[in-house]
Chains A and B, each alone.
Chain A
């Protein structure tokens, strides 16, 4: 089945450690996105990539980094510079049709 896979579903890390969230899609979509969701804040865009080897910062990119070496994969690294990393992270992908944005199941990151 085609879709977006985010792993793991729950992730725990100690403060000061970098952590990488995985996002893989087999939909052959060119564009991929990372959103952060906090209670009462809706979803905010962290980074997006329209093609392989290219990506742009979103509204809240500070403390995060991404790579896009393959069309299928768009991993997000939460660095120790991110002041409040505990959140729910959603990955998405799309083609040129705006109604065809697909979301993964999300990763809940807890930093202690």
Chain B
């Protein structure tokens, strides 16, 4: 079974600053994907960024980037130029890739990020 650990229950950052959210995972699988999801107060789940395990290059989406360390099983999210709208719960998630996996997501417990003016 895969486990996803987010060690920071809460974090705070000032507007325009940079913040990094940590995520580690444990798996024996070789083919998988990693994701960061954002859940604002509306509770709608929004995909922030994804990383294919077979890719060495770290994924980037505008102000969001990841630091994927496969050997260390680490997958941190960096948010640059933080905005008030980034205030949300952030979940790290793992997906096994392959037959009979169902493409279900295995989530961490989340990090609550507060962006302050």
Contacts and interface: CB of A to CB of B under 8 A. Distances in A.
Given A40-B9, A42-B91, A90-B45, A101 B103 contact: yes
Contacts, number: 56
A48 B102 contact: yes
A99 B110 contact: no
Q: By DSSP majority rule, is chain A's interface helix, strand, loop, or mixed?
A: strand
Nearest to B9: A40
B104 interface: yes
B44 to A, nearest CB: 6
A58 interface: yes
**Chain A interface residue count: which class?**
20 to 34
A48 to B, nearest CB: 5
B103 A98 contact: yes
B105 A31 contact: no
A98 B91 CA distance: 16
B97 A42 contact: no
Contact of A48 (B33, B44, B104, B109): B104
A94 B109 contact: no
B92 to A, nearest CB: 9
A43 B91 contact: yes
Most B-side CB within 10 Å, residue of A33, A40, A98, A105:
A98
A103 B44 CA distance: 7
Interface in A24-57: 31, 33, 35, 40-45, 48, 50, 56
5 tightest Cβ-Cβ pairs between the two chains A and B:
A103-B45, A42-B109, A42-B107, A43-B107, A98-B33
Given A40-B110, A98-B33, A99-B35, 15 more contacts: A33-B102, A35-B105, A40-B9, A42-B6, A43-B107, A45-B105, A48-B102, A48-B104, A90-B45, A92-B45, A98-B95, A98-B103, A99-B47, A101-B103, A103-B45
